[in-house]
Structure 1
Amino acid sequence: FFNRLIVEKSGEYKDKLNLKLHGFIPLVDAVRILALEQNIGKTNTLERIKALTDKGVFPGDNGRDLYESFNLLMLLRFRHHLDQMNRGKKLDNYINPSALTQIQRSMLKSAFKAIDRLQNQLEIRFGLTALRQR
């Protein structure tokens, strides 16, 4: 997983990465769970990450990494949607990793590593074994 991005194996979106399924949902849901546990009333994911970071919920630089990961996912999705709108296409959450620059792919892999660490943290914290969607 860490050396490659998870892409669809067949169908209309073959070789494309679903940013929503593999990025946003695991990140947003995990942050939401931790915010509920910590009685954080924020509803915005970035505000929740900041509040959780301020409370020391994330070890080391994980809070900063998650904040940057969320922003990267948003930027990639925004650019993808803008491109689709300009071409008159229906908006979706499937990006082509091979169309990204090497730096963008590297940053995206780092974002997924941060999300993986977050999911590991939840699994340990709540004694879960089947949290993952991947």
Structure 2
Amino acid sequence: MSWLDLFTTKVRDAYRSYDEFGNFYGCQSVSGDETLLKEVRTHLNGYLDSDVGMLMSFARAVNQFDEDGCGFFAQILGQKKHKMDIKKMEIFPVVHGTRALALKAKISKTNTSERIAQLSQMGLIEQQLSQDVSEALVYLMNTRLKDGLLALKHNQELAPNHIDTENLSTLERDLLKNALQVVKRFKHHVSSQFNLHHA
């Protein structure tokens, strides 16, 4: 059995695990023969073409953490909790939803921003939503980084992906609320594209 056959078998097995599948789909060749990865990707696309339910199941994870977001606007407005898992609640749905849409459209790009731009060019995401989602993602990632650096500066325990909304200015809170609304719209778009509202 050739190396390519072994790797293709490994990909087929990973195809059954959404996490591994998503990770593989986002990988890039860093050295060696790039055509091998392209060949395995072609093989993977063949699985997708013959398994309509797989994409729907894969996309369903975009709503995986909806319960964690319930009532979060009230929390941002100064009530009770001030910690938020920004990756789980906001960054993951954008990255994963974009990945699912890119899979459906057979987009080979692996960068989330590039995928969003190509989806918009193909007419699969409205241009305004595409721009809003890209800007929201940049804001959310910068907010996560800033909060982590602030914790390090003050020798506080670092909680990766968690931000303390008390550290945000009024303007930053408003921007965060706007970003949350954009992510909500994007999740609705992804759910509509994969008929998740009826699943």
The interval holding the TM-score normalised by the smaller chain is 0.7 to 0.9
1:59 matches 2:136: no
**So what's the TM-score if we normalise by structure 2?**
0.57
Cα deviation for residue 90 of structure 1 reads 2.8
Identity of aligned residues (%): 28
Segments of 4+ moved more than 4 angstroms: none
Residue 71 of structure 1 corresponds to: 138
1:25 matches 2:92: yes
CA RMSD, 1 decimal: 2.6
**So what's the TM-score if we normalise by structure 1?**
0.81
1:35 matches 2:102: yes
1:106 matches 2:169: no
Q: Which structure dedicates a bigger proportion of its chain to helix? A: 2
Q: Distance in 1 between matches of 2:129 and 2:197?
A: 21
Mark the CA change 1:62 to 1:86 in structure 2 (over 3 Å): closer, same or farther: same
Cα deviation for residue 118 of structure 1 reads 1.2
1:4 matches 2:73: yes
The answer to which structure, 1 or 2, has the higher relative contact order (CA under 8 A, 6+ apart) is 1
- Segments of structure 2 that go 5 or more residues without pairing to the other structure are 1-69
Q: Do the aligned residues in 1 keep the contact of 2:148 with 2:163 (CA within 8 Å)?
A: no
Mark the CA change 1:97 to 1:110 in structure 2 (over 3 Å): closer, same or farther: same
Q: Distance in 2 between matches of 1:114 and 1:99?
A: 22
Would you say how many aligned residue pairs link Structure 1 and Structure 2? Answer: 127
Q: Supply the AA of the counterpart residue of 1:4.
A: F
Q: Distance in 1 between matches of 2:145 and 2:125?
A: 27
Q: Distance in 2 between matches of 1:22 and 1:91?
A: 15
| TM-superposition CA deviations, 1:104-125 (whole Å, max 9, x none) | 1111111111111111112222
| TM-superposition CA deviations, 1:19-59 (whole Å, max 9, x none) | 01111111111010001111111111111111112222212
Mark the CA change 1:79 to 1:106 in structure 2 (over 3 Å): closer, same or farther: same
Q: Do the aligned residues in 2 keep the contact of 1:2 with 1:113 (CA within 8 Å)?
A: no
| TM-superposition CA deviations, 1:52-80 (whole Å, max 9, x none) | 12222212510000000010011101111
Q: Do the aligned residues in 1 keep the contact of 2:147 with 2:164 (CA within 8 Å)?
A: no
Q: Distance in 1 between matches of 2:71 and 2:130?
A: 20
Select which of 173, 184, 187 maps to 1:119: 187
Q: Helix, strand or coil for the counterpart of 1:4?
A: helix
